[in-house]
Amino acid sequence: MVLKNIYDVVVIGSGPGGLAAAVAAKKEGAEDVLVIERDMELGGILIQCIHNGFGVEIFKEDLPGPSYAQRFIKEVFSLGVEILLDTMVLDITPQRKIYASNKRLGFVEIEARSIVLAMGCRERSRPQIRIPGTRPVGVYTAGTAQRWVNVEGYMPGNRVVILGSGDIGMIMARRLTFEGAKVERVLEVMPYLTGLTRNYVQCLLDFDIQLQLRHTVKRVLGNNCVEAVEAVQVDEKWNPVPGSEEIIPCDTLLLSVGLIPENELSRKAGVKLDPITSGPYVDDNFQTNVPGIFAAGNVVHVYDLVDWVTEAGFQAGKCAAKYAIVTHRKESNYVPLIAGDNVRYIVPQKLDKRNLEENEIRLQMRVTQPIEQPVWIEVHDKENLVARKAERYVRPGEMVTVVLKQKNYKDVEKAENLTINIAPR
């Protein structure tokens, strides 16, 4: 493959966000689109997510991860998107120069008229949650175990404790059970489930796997290999409850304790990050603070559904193509979005008023506390109610979406900022 010196759109990462961005950029009219992927094949983490549940929103079909990825892989090839596999991006400059290394091509330097960051996220690991005890073999993130079991073909162990009730953890509990392991326990430090309720049903309840809320691992035991973990209950202030300790014999401890957007490259490019999401501040076009650098998918904030990552990728890719083709963007007219009562964060963090004149804008957010009763999600400009939506409940594990319609333009146009509050109805 002969690399061009300059591309209209370069997409970093080929997971669902990156693939969608490449497809949309090409469809929007960008001529030269390049996807750079560090793995040997396209698809990102979908390749190891062999369970179904993907595509219900976009394709109205219930697909396994690899099938979902393959649809987009086929499309990027048929659209003539260029692909650079097995390539590590080392640096991105604010002027959109990309430096990468590849075994065959060596060190490469590529210029991009616009860039879509789609690096996804990384799992929180043992050092980040500081689990005391020995440091034996047998403590892995749930995603590592998923890669081994589903792609590479070996088992992490036979008796497993899972810390964290995130979706990957619950899905791995079922998967390991299928392959003959015994999942001794799932421990969750929060008083509520952090993954989707349906995964609790079909991954844990179906196989009688015990979930303990408000419980965590006090320490890991074992010298060479994990021999047991000591579980403990925690109180409201997250302090261990004395006397509640329990030794659970096991040979494997899997961690499903959250995902962090992977933004080392974004930082190098001068992209500002939101300390709450750990992802870039973006506007409603998914453009970061650096002109011409866009970001989409789990690199911005962690989604519940791949379908929404794809949607975000489409939007970012389309806008990146527009930027590359036109470049001359008028001064934007931004309104900041402020997280109010029981809202932890909102993406986008700001929106361009004029875009609302032409298109509806989707706001996605997470709540701070669960409210297990009907609620209003209200968008306010000071005292003035701009839009509101009813939900039957809200939970931190399940993302909340509000769509601002073109008819809201009049109210938004006048606003200096918009606050979103969530409260019982």
Partner 1 sequence: MEELKKLICISCPQGCTLEVTVEGKTVLKVDGESCKQGIEYAEQEITDPRRMIASTVQVKNGYHPLVPVYTKMPIPKNTIKNVLKELRKVELTAPVALGTVVIKNVLGTGIDVITSRDMPTRTAEQDHFLK
Cα separation, 19 vs 45, in Å, equals 12
Cα separation, 178 vs 203, in Å, equals 10
123, 352, 398, 411: residue in contact with partner 1 (rule CB under 8 A) = 398
Site string for partner 1, 167-196 (x = CB under 8 A): -----------x-----------------x
Cα separation, 137 vs 156, in Å, equals 10
Q: Within 13 A of 385's CA, how many CA atoms are on the CB side? A: 8
The number of residues that bind partner 1 (CB under 8 A) is 32
Going by the DSSP 8-state scheme, the letter that residue 151 receives in this structure is I
φ/ψ of residue 230, rounded to 5: -100, 115
200, 286, 314, 409: residue in contact with partner 1 (rule CB under 8 A) = 200
Phi/psi region, residue 305 (left: phi>0; alpha: psi -120 to 50; beta: rest), is beta
Map tokens 């209950």 to a residue.
233
Cα separation, 313 vs 25, in Å, equals 10
Cα separation, 51 vs 153, in Å, equals 16
11, 63, 316, 339: residue in contact with partner 1 (rule CB under 8 A) = 63
3 state SS for 111-144: EEEEEEECCCEEECCHHHHCCCECCCECEEEHHH
3, 27, 52, 362: residue in contact with partner 1 (rule CB under 8 A) = 52
Residue 150 binds partner 1, judged by CB under 8 A = yes
Beta carbon of residue 103, minimum distance to partner 1 (angstroms, whole number) = 9
Residue number, 56 or 248, with CB nearest to partner 1: 56
Q: Which region, judged by CB under 8 A, interacts with partner 1, from 65-73, 158-166, 216-224, 320-328?
A: 65-73
Identify residues 31-50 at the interface with partner 1 (CB under 8 A): 41, 47, 50
Residue 69 binds partner 1, judged by CB under 8 A = yes
Cα separation, 283 vs 271, in Å, equals 13
Identify residues 287-306 at the interface with partner 1 (CB under 8 A): 304-305
Q: Which region, judged by CB under 8 A, interacts with partner 1, from 27-35, 124-132, 151-159, 282-290?
A: 151-159
Beta carbon of residue 66, minimum distance to partner 1 (angstroms, whole number) = 4
3, 56, 221, 338: residue in contact with partner 1 (rule CB under 8 A) = 56
Instruction: Classify residue 125 by burial, with Cβ atoms within 10 Å: 0-12, 13-18, 19+.
Output: middle
Q: Which region, judged by CB under 8 A, interacts with partner 1, from 200-208, 247-255, 316-324, 378-386?
A: 200-208
Residue number, 52 or 102, with CB nearest to partner 1: 52
Beta carbon of residue 175, minimum distance to partner 1 (angstroms, whole number) = 8
* Chain centroid to CA 106: 31
Three-state DSSP state, 411: helix
Q: Which region, judged by CB under 8 A, interacts with partner 1, from 58-66, 76-84, 250-258, 415-423?
A: 58-66
198, 267, 354, 405: residue in contact with partner 1 (rule CB under 8 A) = 198
CA angle 256–19–296, rounded 5-degree value:
65
The 10 Å Cβ neighbour count of residue 157 is 20
Identify residues 301-340 at the interface with partner 1 (CB under 8 A): 304-305
Map tokens 């938004």 to a residue.
412
Residue 65 binds partner 1, judged by CB under 8 A = yes
Closest CA relative to residue 95, chosen from 80, 77, 122, 115: 115
Residue 261 binds partner 1, judged by CB under 8 A = no
Residue 151 binds partner 1, judged by CB under 8 A = yes
Cα separation, 417 vs 425, in Å, equals 24
Beta carbon of residue 49, minimum distance to partner 1 (angstroms, whole number) = 9
202, 212, 244, 278: residue in contact with partner 1 (rule CB under 8 A) = 202
Residue 153 binds partner 1, judged by CB under 8 A = yes
> H helices then E strands: how many in the chain?
10, 25
Residues in touch with partner 1 (CB under 8 A)? 41, 47, 50-53, 56, 62-67, 69-70, 149-153, 178, 196-198, 200-202, 206, 304-305, 392, 398
